[in-house]
Structure 1
Amino acid sequence: MTATPTAHDGLEHRIAAVPRPTPVLSRERAAALTPRQRELLDQLTELARDGFSHLTMADLAARLNCSLRTLYGLAESREALVLMAFDRHLWTVGRSAREAVGADPLGDPLEAIRRYLAAANVAVSRTTPAFARDLAAVPGG
């Protein structure tokens, strides 16, 4: 006896087939980050949420308690640094969202979408208009 196809058949395969965007930070470069560099990027993600156009690299270094050399070792500009930090954060959120969908591959497709959107909502829930405006002004942002 053959099972009747359902709406969720192949859901995981369809989701997996969606092409992934190219990350700002290559896999190799991300793997080479030191624990301190990862910590700085995480802190920068939080710091930039209220906007960053008014912050210089020197301001960022002071607020992150690191040297300018450390920041310029990560990225060539403030904009590139913020894009790198936020892109890294979005990849983390994306992995969490994909894991939420994969938690019950035979479950209800609508519930899978709800789990995905709930997990993805974490990425944008604290985004401020100032951050969105500043990010929109960055080429490639």
Structure 2
Amino acid sequence: MARVAARRTTARQAQLFDQLVALFLDEGFAHFTLDDIAARLRCSKSTLYALAENKDRLVYAVTVHFFRGATERVEADVAEVAGAETRIRAYLESVGRQLEPASARFMDDIAATPVAREVYERNTRLAADRVRVLISEGVAAGELRDVHAAFAADVVATVMVRIQQRQVAERTGLADAQAYRELAALLTHGLTP
């Protein structure tokens, strides 16, 4: 799978990935065939095969592209603010904003598709680790209550996994983006002295 992530893309391929992300976010992807996708993007199947050798690999590559861009935007948002509580809130709320365009069908397709679910799970683990680092920095700076950062991050990771697996949506009716905003509020209010 690293082969897809490591492949250099041309400007046209990057544009196609952006179009694929927009299409998948809006309508999901499980129901599309490669012929459907090519027709929607007004390109040939051979153009799609230049992106990935089959639909599963294309879904994987598009999911990687989506999360890579989302991560860059989240980190840019965090870089704009100061203070531990504000950085944690900015991080989690920004994650939520990145998921706002995602339709329920897209999120359901991700949960039901192993190659896409793997990417989401990996990004969820990385996000939970990033929150752990932000908490540790805040505790070390005396800006946050002296909590066990690894435990707090584990709690966050558990909720993030439940969001990713669609359990929060099923139990609460909250969309993933809303759930991340609620998690940000709960976490930052609980950490402030």
List structure 1 runs of 4+ shifted beyond 3 angstroms.
Answer: 22-25
- For structure 1, list consecutive stretches of 5 or more residues without a partner in the other structure: 1-21
1:93 is aligned to 70
Which has the larger helix fraction?
A: 2
Q: How does 1:52-131 map to 2 (within 5 A)?
A: 52-104=29-81, 107-131=82-106
Q: For this pair of structures, how many residues does the alignment match?
A: 115
Q: Is the 8 A contact 2:5 2:64 kept in 1?
A: no
Relative to structure 1, is the Cα distance of residues 25 and 121 closer, same or farther in structure 2, using a 3 angstrom cutoff?
Answer: farther
1:42 is aligned to 18
The offset of 1:23, in angstroms, is 6.7
Looking at structure 1, the residues matched to 38 and 107 of structure 2 have their Cα atoms a distance apart, in angstroms, of 22
Which whole-Å deviations, capped at 9, do the CAs of 1:48-80 have from their partners, x for residues lacking one? 122212211011001101110110111122232
Amino acid aligned to 2:85: L
The offset of 1:24, in angstroms, is 7.4
Amino acid aligned to 1:123: Q
Amino acid aligned to 1:121: G
Amino acid aligned to 2:46: R
Which whole-Å deviations, capped at 9, do the CAs of 1:76-97 have from their partners, x for residues lacking one? 2223212211221211111221
1:82 match: secondary structure: helix
CA RMSD of aligned residues (A): 2.0
Relative to structure 1, is the Cα distance of residues 24 and 83 closer, same or farther in structure 2, using a 3 angstrom cutoff?
Answer: farther
Higher relative contact order (CA 8 A, sep 6+): 1
- For structure 2, list consecutive stretches of 5 or more residues without a partner in the other structure: 118-193
Looking at structure 2, the residues matched to 111 and 43 of structure 1 have their Cα atoms a distance apart, in angstroms, of 33
Looking at structure 2, the residues matched to 100 and 134 of structure 1 have their Cα atoms a distance apart, in angstroms, of 28
Scaled by the length of structure 2, what TM-score is found?
0.54
Q: Is the 8 A contact 1:58 1:68 kept in 2?
A: yes
1:19 is aligned to none
The offset of 1:139, in angstroms, is 1.9
1:55 match: secondary structure: coil
Looking at structure 1, the residues matched to 63 and 79 of structure 2 have their Cα atoms a distance apart, in angstroms, of 24
Looking at structure 2, the residues matched to 103 and 23 of structure 1 have their Cα atoms a distance apart, in angstroms, of 31
2:90 match: secondary structure: helix
Looking at structure 2, the residues matched to 114 and 23 of structure 1 have their Cα atoms a distance apart, in angstroms, of 31
The offset of 1:137, in angstroms, is 2.1
